[in-house]
Amino acid sequence: MRDSHTAPSAVSSSVTWFAWGLAAAVFGLVAPFAFSSPYPTPSRMDWTLQQVPAQMVLASAASYSLASVSTTPLLPETAERVPLVTPVRTVSIRRPIGDAPEADREIVTASISTNLGSHDAPVRDNRRNTAASDIDDYLWDVYQRQPLKRDRGGDFTWKDPAAAKRVGKTLQAYVITGMDVDFREQLYHAGKAMDAAGIEWTIVSGFRDDWRQSIASGIKARTGFSRHGGSRAVGGYGNGLAVDLGHVDRSRSDSVFRWLDANGAKYGLFRPYRNFDPPHVEPRGDFRKLASNLRRERVGAAVADARDSTRVRPTERRLREARAPNRANRTRRVN
């Protein structure tokens, strides 16, 4: 019995010593690699970094300088100076965006040149001035011919200034530039013809946004559906397609209405609600083509073509709404 217990004990002791020996061998092989540096130890002189002489460092530093407003030019005074950028003059024919009427806006670009050239004032294109500002200035003067704005609902002089202030625009930019650019072209030519006929006409009401429409009195279109500038009817600011016209002497407004009925078709204008809203005037038919022809006669073909190509038109959705407005609202407009 004693020998049977001694044999397994001897085997177990041998296995233990063998395991310890194997572990020691592995540790002896792995330890040098684990604790060694990944970089080789220099053993030759040509592997070491040579110290740069102080004289070389100073010489190198002296050959460079940082650019600043106070540095001395590196080039000699006699060297030829070649400017990289010079201002050039261009003329803009695009429609400006903003509160101001469509006046000239100058564009400054740059070009590569070997001389500075002159810095004269930008050249203005007189045709562009005429195309952009004459119409708006003229219509604004017409609007001011009657300082007090009245209709069957009473005095509403305060409403247009309040609406303009609410959207941060001048009164001229609001009531005049808020109308469609082609519609303004038509009004300009028709107005000049009325002036020539001795009719002192005036604009009683021009562009009206949704808020302005909401405070209008009397029989009127629902908010958003006014052709004067309703967001749903025509698309809001810059797209107004209706205006209220009259005489500076309200008692003589019939002379304006009679002239429009007799001559308005020549300028693409008509009064759709003669019975219950006589001052209301809108464009009709292919008024954009007519406006383009009128513009061409006024400012010349080149500027007219450029003007037409840069005009922002209403979206297709707005055009559909403008051509087929709510029938219930077509019989309820006055202001």
- What the chain holds in terms of domains, given with CATH numbers, is 126-330 (3.30.1380.10)
Phi-psi label, residue 69: left if phi above 0, alpha if psi -120 to 50, beta otherwise: alpha
- Rounded CA separation 132/176 (Å): 13
DSSP for 197-249, please give it. TT--EEEEE----HHHHHT--SS-PPTT--TTT-TTTT-STT-B--EEEEESS
Length of the chain: 335
> Can you list the residues of the chain whose pLDDT is less than 50?
1-2, 4, 43-50, 52, 54-75, 82, 85, 88, 90-130, 327-328, 330-335
Helix (H) / strand (E) containing 254: helix 253-263
The pLDDT score that the predictor gives to residue 113 is 38
The pLDDT score that the predictor gives to residue 100 is 44
The pLDDT score that the predictor gives to residue 71 is 43
Q: How many CA atoms lie within 13 A of 125 on its CB side?
A: 19
Q: Are the C-beta atoms of 309 and 316 separated by less than 8 Å?
A: no
285-294 contact pairs (CB < 8 A, 24+) = 287/182, 287/183, 287/186, 288/182, 290/186, 291/181, 291/182, 291/183, 291/185, 291/186, 292/182, 294/185, 294/186, 294/189, 294/267
The pLDDT score that the predictor gives to residue 109 is 42
